[in-house]
Amino acid sequence: MSIAVTLLVQPFFALTFQFSEVADFQTFMATVQAPIVEEFAKSLGLLMILLLARKHFDGPVDGIVFAFTIAGGFAFTENILYFGRAIAESANRERIWPRSSSSAA
């Protein structure tokens, strides 16, 4: 749930806040947009569990466990997306600038 919300809302931030410099845009996305959208999405997931599956909440510890599970799943999925992007970019880089046989050791 939180991953889907984040992936749907992030493009709206990019369209709404236009910057002339790429570095300014990247800084904004990393320091303002990402924390706001990601934390809201994670809390929305916990709220949905609370409202739709209230019988599974026996006390505050259950809420903490569910919150940690949501946060862990979000971090795991986000890291997989980062690794996939890095692999895709490195594959493109190899296609564009292949290593010469003399530089391979």
For residue 102, pLDDT over 60 is answered with no
In a domain, 36, yes or no: yes
pLDDT > 70 in the chain, percent: 85
Which range of residues forms the domain containing residue 41?
2-96
In a domain, 31, yes or no: yes
In a domain, 102, yes or no: no
| Confidence class for position 36, pLDDT limits 50, 70, 90 | confident
For residue 81, pLDDT over 90 is answered with no
Which tokens belong to 38? 């990601």
Contact 6, 38 (CB under 8 A): yes
In a domain, 105, yes or no: no
Average pLDDT of the residues of the chain: 81
For residue 26, pLDDT over 90 is answered with no
Which tokens belong to 11? 């493009």
Q: How far apart are CA 100 and CA 105, in angstroms?
A: 10
Maximum alpha-carbon separation in the chain: 65
In a domain, 101, yes or no: no
| Confidence class for position 35, pLDDT limits 50, 70, 90 | confident
Backbone angles phi, psi at 61, to 5 degrees: -65, -35
* Model confidence, pTM: 0.65
| Confidence class for position 95, pLDDT limits 50, 70, 90 | low
Domain count, the chain: 1
- Tell me how crowded residue 66 is: count the other CB atoms within 10 A of its CB: 17
